Structure formats: structure tokens, C-alpha cells
Amino acid sequence: MEHRYPFIAIEGMDGTGKTTVRKGLFRLWESLYAVTPLCILTTNFLDAGVGGDIVAGKYAPTEANRDHYMEALAADKQATLTRMVGPALPVRPVLSDRWLLSELAFFAAKHSMRPHDTYQRLAARIHRPLDATLVLDLPVEESLARSHARSGDATRSDWDTLDVQQRVRAVYESVLAEPDAFPLLGDVVRIDAADGPAAVLHQVWTSLRDRGLIPASVAVIEGTEPSC
Amino acid sequence: MPPLDIPLATPDHQVWRSWLALADALMVQRFYLHRAESAEILGQAAALPDIDLADARALVTVPEYELIDAELADISGLTAFFAIPRRSAHREALSHPLWEAAVTQAAKLLRSEHLSVSVPEMAAAAAWWVGFFATIRHRGVHHRTLEPVTSTVGLDTLREAARVVALGTALRVIEASLRTSPAVDADAERAYCAAITGSIKIEPRLPALLEDLAELRLVDLVSLAVPWRGRFTKYAGGTGAGQVE
């Protein structure tokens, strides 16, 4: 057994409630399990040398910058794993707002790359697996409607479209169908995001507990041991 | 993947729990410091200069309700929070203008009969505390400038404040229930998730609500009630709170 906390990624299309799940999991861990998680993003710019390639590859993707973007992502993720995730896991969980699955979806949607091919290239540079990838799932039309209805968030005309999001969801489905082909994703868990935020959070909680990624019982405050 | 042996952490070592205990105690201190002042204000006139309410004594009434489980109150750190309104409330035949808002909020979370908590008590206490500090608001200071408060506050703003305090109270009580349950309590877990996501949902509104409340003691009561990014700003910065006392 490994004596540490879990490394969990929260994935899903825009509008599926990833941020609410992440905040909810954060508060669950901090209040009920007495430990403050570290929250990270899929790219954290911890390798400053590749920052330009990340921005160019993500927001102005071209065939010419595709491979630089791939290498930059791998470098940034390995820097995050080395400097943030590895040191954190003995003392706190790490919750990532997207991680690897989103990259497989991006390269499929923008560069028509097969998820397996993208995975193989990233896996050559990334040396720590997730314990779980939670995939918040919704019909594409509903997730788009939710993301467009949000205030304060910029929707991207090149990304938040039905065509692109359908391709993204197709990647999620293909990975959910053969998760063993992508071991760096850990346990890939489909979460039905159609219910309200509270029900989705409870689904996430019980899913993680069933997989031994959240303690079976809450942390006890001295003098409050559960009565038998 | 090998299974994880997840370390069991000790809540008592979390510094924010100490901050919360200090914040709870500050409310108690403020009650004892200002209860005579509040009684004097309410004895002199029915209306308050900053709140449009015909009889301000309604703000510190409490309806009859069953006592919350004492163990739950103690574990959640809310013994004084519930006890003070019960001991201090005016017994006028007046309807508390904030109670319905608070009870609606608490009832949303506590639908299950398996949770041994009293929705009316939680709501009554939340409404009372907001009401108590509202009676002395016009003699308080602005939470940022520490200058005398000159603005008025609407009943709708106070009702919103009561809902936030009720939400935070319910969150703490449900958490206490989860800690003392010998087995997985799915009803309590669902209620806890509803309380957490409720706190996430209201967070964007909190800064504006606190500005509308404006006065330091009301702002502290509401800002410390629920988890959000600004909850322990003063404590985390080493300032602590209560220095104006």
C-alpha cells in the first residue's frame, strides 16, 4: 500500500460543473477529512521556458506549432508533477481541474490526432499517474447551453461549438470504453452531471470512497468519537 | 495501481478551526458588551433610524422551538449560538421579520427526519443573531473604514444575511452529525453536499451583501458563517478580530 493522499483530475466539457465539483471536493476534504487539498490546473506554467509555446498552441493552434505545443505540455506537466504533486501527496490530496484527458480531446478536435497517439507521446515524458479521472458527463447540447448561460466566462468561438464539443465527447467515450489503454489516467469514472450540483458532488464522494480514494470514515475530533 | 493507505488527519490541528472558535467567541463577547445597549435602544423607540421596520423589537424575538441535540451543538461549536437567543429573546407577540427566510434556507437542507436537528431552532437562532446586531447597527462602524455607519439597510438585505447564517449553521450541524454517526449516513451526506454546494453558489454574492450590510459586527457574523474565500481574511493576515472591542 502507498501511504499518501490521492491525485485526482476532474474532466468534462465546459458547463458540466467541474469547478463546482472541485470546490466541493476541496471543502469536503478540508472540513470532514481535516486536510487542505492542493488545487492545480492542467497547465500551471511552472516551466517558464515553454510558456509561449503553450499559449500559442492552445489559442492559435496550427500544424506548425502542434509538436511544440505537445512538448511544452509534457514539460509543464512533468514540472508540475515534480515540483507540486509529488511533494504534496504525502501530506494532502491534489485536485486538478483537467489534466491528461483534456489534452487527448484537444489534439483530436484541433489536429485530428488519435487519442492513443497523443497519449503515447505525452506518456513518454510524464512519470506519475493519476489515481482517478472523474469525467463529468452531459449531452453536448446541454453542456453548451449551460456554458453559454454563465456570466463572467469568455466562451471561445473556436472551441465552444457543437461540432468541436461533439468531437471532445467522442474522445471521452472512447477512453471510457477502454480505460486500461490509458493507465496514466488512473481509474476513469463517468459521473452523471445531469443532476443538480449537490447530487453530483455526492456521486463523486461515494465514487471516490468506493475506490478507496477518500477515507471510509470522517476525521474525528477529540472527544467526539462515534457512539457504537 | 496499489491501493492507497490514506493518512487520517487530525482536525484539532487545523488552524482555521481555532479561528472559527475565536470568531464564535467574539460574537459571544459582542452580545455581552452590547445587550444592555440593544435593550436601551429598543426601550426608547419602536423604530430604528437605519432600518425600515415599524417595531424593531421583532428583530430579537424568538418563536418557541425544540432544543437542538446538545451533543451536536457542542461538537459543532454552536452551544452559545443556540443558547443565547433562547435566554435573551424578547417574548413579545411579534413576528420576527427574518425568521421565514432563515427557516426556508434551513429546511432546504434538512428534509430528512433521520437528521436529529431542529430546523426551527437553527432558523430562529440565525434570525435572532442577525436581528440583534441589526438593532445596534446604527451605532456601529463601517467594516473597512471603521468610521461611523451612515447608510441604511433594507429588510431584504437582512433576510439574505439570515439565510447565509442559517446555511452556515446547518452546514456545521450536519458536519457534526456525520462525525458522530457510527455508519455511513446517506441522508446526512446528501444534506452535507447540498450545504456545501449552497455555499459555493452564494459565494459570488457575498462581497456585495457584506457591502450592503456595511457595519462591522453584522459583516463579521455573515462573513464568518460559511466557507468562502474571504472567511478568515483577518485571521489569516495575523490581524485577528475584535480589536475594536
Q: Which range has the worst mean pLDDT, A25-39, A48-62, A145-159, B142-156?
A: A145-159
| Grid cell listed for A22 | 472541485
Contact criterion met (CB < 8 Å) for B4 and A197: no
Separation in Å, CA B85 to CA B60, B62, B125: 8, 7, 6
**Cross-chain residue pair A212–B4, CB shorter than 8 Å:** yes
Q: How far is CA B63 from the centre of its chain?
A: 17
Mean per-residue pLDDT for B210-237? 96
- A18 vs A1: CA distance, rounded Å: 29
Between A and B, how many residue pairs show a Cβ–Cβ distance under 8 A?
112
- The tens digit of pLDDT for each residue in A66-102 reads 999 999 999 999 999 999 999 999 999 999 999 999 9
Contact A116, A38 (CB under 8 A): no
Q: Which of B243, B164, B217 is nearest to B38 (CA)?
A: B217
For residue B225, is pLDDT > 50?
A: yes
* Mean pLDDT on A44-73: 95
C-alpha span between A10 and B194 (Å, rounded): 19
pLDDT for residue B152 is more than 80: yes
Write down the pLDDT at residue A227. 43
**What's the whole-model pTM score?**
0.92
Q: Which of B4, B16, B178 sits opposite A218 (nearest CB)?
A: B178
pLDDT, tens digit (0-9, with 9 covering 90-100), for B1-44: 678 999 888 888 899 999 999 999 999 999 999 999 999 999 99
* Mean pLDDT of the region A163-189: 95
Give chain B's length.
Answer: 245
Instruction: Name the band, by pLDDT with cuts 50, 70 and 90, for residue A168.
Output: very high
Q: Lowest-pLDDT range, A210-214, A223-227, B97-101?
A: A223-227
A198 lies within 8 A of chain B by CB: yes
Grid cell for residue A116: 492513443
Three-state DSSP at B245 gives coil
Q: How many percent of chain B have pLDDT more than 70?
A: 92
Over residues B57-61, the mean pLDDT reads 93
CB A224 within 8 A of CB B181: no
Determine the pLDDT at residue A199.
Answer: 96
Q: Report yes or no for ipTM above 0.85.
A: yes
pLDDT of A152 above 70: no
Q: Which residues of A touch B176 (CB under 8 A)?
A: 224
Per-residue confidence at A122, pLDDT binned at 50, 70, 90? Answer: very high
Question: Is there a contact between A4 and B192 if contact means CB atoms under 8 Å apart?
Answer: no
| Test the B interface: residue of A35, A150, A213 with most B CBs within 10 Å | A35
Residues A218, B176: contact at Cβ < 8 Å?
no
**Adjacency order of strands within the sheet including A7-12:** A38-41, A94-97, A7-12, A132-137, A187-192
